[in-house]
Amino acid sequence: MTKGSSGFTLIEVLLALALSALLLTTVYWTYFSIDRSIDAATEGHDAMETGRGLIELLKQDVRGITLARFPFVATIEEIDGQQVGAIEFTTTSHLGQDTHQLTRVGYALVQDSNGKKTLVRRQTRNLRDDVVEFDMTSELSTIVTGFSLGFYDGTDWVESWDSKARNGLPKQVRFTLDISDRKGGTRTFTTEETIPGAL
């Protein structure tokens, strides 16, 4: 610059633009990196929360089994070539208003006409052996892709149970849930619970 003239030279303007572009690029890169990190951290959160909640509900219902005189039936069904469990039993634990009454509950993984799988919980106050209709059906989760059961008879684990045929309740029950996450992966949750009425 010559003496007496004010202003910026072309090089100074280009240098200022380059530094501004570098600064904005760094800010945007940092923002999107943080955003991707947050997405990655919360990605499995839905699957984890669903798995924990369902396992706790199953355990709570099993802890409420007190009487061996009511039917306890677990079968294996097939959905899309995959074996899934279905279970019905009587418990003191149930969803609803009157928490002091025995309730017959059932869990099953069902598939609708579009192929969508849903874990459902059914309940009724009708304790007879030949229950056809349940009073209430609750859709628990649509991200459960597998539901399998195991029963300990005191010596071995078996996949199905009928309290009439086996003359009593199993000592323990094992629930395994396969839950899909947002990436299309599967998380498996397994729990074993002792049946108080069987001891």
Sheet with 73-79, edge to edge strand ranges? 136-141, 117-124, 103-111, 82-91, 73-79, 161-162
Q: Where are the domains of the chain?
A: 8-42, 45-198
pLDDT (tens digit per residue) in 143-168? 999 999 999 988 999 999 988 888 88
Q: What is the pLDDT of residues 2-53, one digit of tens each?
A: 565 677 788 888 899 999 999 999 999 999 899 888 877 776 778 888 899 9
Burial class of residue 140 in the structure, from the number of CB atoms within 10 Å of its CB (0-12 exposed, 13-18 middle, 19+ buried): middle
